[in-house]
Structures are given as structure tokens and as C-alpha cells.
């Protein structure tokens, strides 16, 4: 096996919601499949480049693809070899974790406008500044910007008001 992975693509629109025609749903699926196939081919190329650099006339390295998790012992050993022999090169970028709780609980959490789930929520996201909004029927939307650092957990407690 050369590659095995999970490709995650999160958007703020769900195909099949009421009011969508067959054409709308088909276009939505085409666009999402385009993104997923692009990320898949990028990550396969990354694995090939790191495990068989001789094919590409390159030095061993790994190119991270956001939203893709690669399950492979070969890649891990290639990353370890690359980082130990070349200290100037960085390994794959680590994500940070975001833990969101709310009062009342079971509120919808959106990160940068994309729905992530209900509180209490723990999610792995890219490092950087993100806008987190928490919504629940009968309450005003709570909105806050947070800074997520790689390999760290950022905790956010939101209180919703009527």
C-alpha cells in the first residue's frame, strides 16, 4: 500500500436542503468532489515525493495538505529521516485544538462561518486567528475571535444571552 488517508472538506452549505434543484445538488457535489480529488492527488504526490525522492530528483520532505490526514508508517519514518538529516527543514505543520463550551449547552458552533458541531466541542484546526460564533434558537449569537497555536489547546467558554 502506497497511501491511505482521510480527506476532510468542510463547507457551510449542505446539498439537498429544501429549495435546491437537482442541478444545484449536482453542481454542489461536482465542486466538492473537485476539491477532494485535488487534495487526494496532492497528498499522494507528497507521499511519493517523500518515499521515492529519486523519482523526482529531490531531497526527502513532506508537503502538508490542509484537511488531509495521512495514515502511513512509511511517511512517518521519511519525515523523521528528513528532519534528523536536515535540521533546517520543518516537518509537517501541526494543527492546534479548539475546545468550545457554552451556557446553555448544545449550541451550534461555527468557525470562520463553517459549522463544526454542537457544544461542548473539541476540534482540530489550523493555527491562526479564527472567528468563532455560537448560536442557539431563542438566544443572541455569541461571537469571539481566538488565536489557535499549533500543538496547543485553546479553550473558549461562551455565554449566550436572550
Render the burial of 90-116: b for 16+ CB within 10 Å, e for the rest: eebeebbbbebbbeeeebbbbbeeebb
- Cα of first residue to Cα of last residue in the chain, in angstroms, is 54
Greater confidence (40 vs 77) lies with: 40
DSSP per position, 79-143: HHHHHHH-TTS--SPPPEEEEEEEESSS-EEEETTEEEEESSEEEEE-SEEEEEEEE-TTSPPEE
CA angle 86, 66, 57 (to 5 degrees): 40
Give the β-pairing of 96-103 and 121-125.
Answer: antiparallel
Which contiguous run of DSSP H or E holds residue 7? strand 5-7
Domain 96-159 = CATH 2.60.40.1120: yes
- Which pLDDT belongs to residue 43? 77
Q: State what percent of residues in the chain have pLDDT above 70.
A: 62
The phi and psi torsions of 147 (rounded to 5 degrees) equal -105, 120
pLDDT of residue 82 exceeding 80, the answer is no
Greater confidence (20 vs 72) lies with: 20
Q: Please answer whether residues 36 and 46 qualify as being in contact, where contact means their C-beta atoms are separated by less than 8 angstroms.
A: no
Q: 135: buried, middle or exposed (CB in 10 Å: 19+, 13-18, 0-12)?
A: middle
The phi and psi torsions of 4 (rounded to 5 degrees) equal -145, 130
pLDDT of residue 111 exceeding 60, the answer is yes
Report the chain's mean pLDDT, rounded to a whole number: 75
Q: Tens digits of per-residue pLDDT, 3-60?
A: 566 656 565 555 555 667 778 778 878 887 888 788 777 777 777 777 776 666 654 4
- Which pLDDT belongs to residue 133? 94
Other C-beta atoms within 10 Å of 41: how many? 11
- Which pLDDT belongs to residue 100? 95
Domain boundaries along the sequence of the chain: 5-85, 96-159
Q: Which of 161, 65, 50, 158 is nearest to 110 (CA)?
A: 158
Amino acid at each position: 500500500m502506497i497511501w491511505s488517508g482521510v480527506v476532510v472538506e468542510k463547507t457551510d452549505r449542505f446539498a439537498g436542503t429544501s429549495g435546491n434543484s437537482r442541478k444545484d445538488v449536482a453542481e454542489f457535489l461536482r465542486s466538492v468532489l473537485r476539491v477532494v480529488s485535488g487534495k487526494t492527488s496532492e497528498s499522494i504526490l507528497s507521499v511519493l515525493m517523500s518515499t521515492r525522492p529519486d523519482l523526482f530528483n529531490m531531497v526527502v520532505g513532506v508537503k502538508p495538505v490542509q484537511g488531509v490526514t495521512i495514515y502511513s508508517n512509511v511517511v512517518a519514518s521519511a519525515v523523521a529521516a528528513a528532519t534528523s538529516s536536515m535540521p533546517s527543514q520543518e516537518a509537517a505543520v501541526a494543527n492546534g485544538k479548539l475546545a468550545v463550551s457554552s451556557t446553555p449547552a448544545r449550541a451550534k458552533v461555527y468557525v470562520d462561518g463553517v459549522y463544526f458541531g454542537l457544544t461542548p466541542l473539541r476540534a482540530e484546526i489550523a493555527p491562526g486567528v479564527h472567528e468563532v460564533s455560537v448560536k442557539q434558537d431563542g438566544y443572541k449569537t455569541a461571537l469571539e475571535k481566538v488565536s489557535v497555536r499549533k500543538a496547543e489547546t485553546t479553550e473558549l467558554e461562551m455565554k449566550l444571552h436572550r
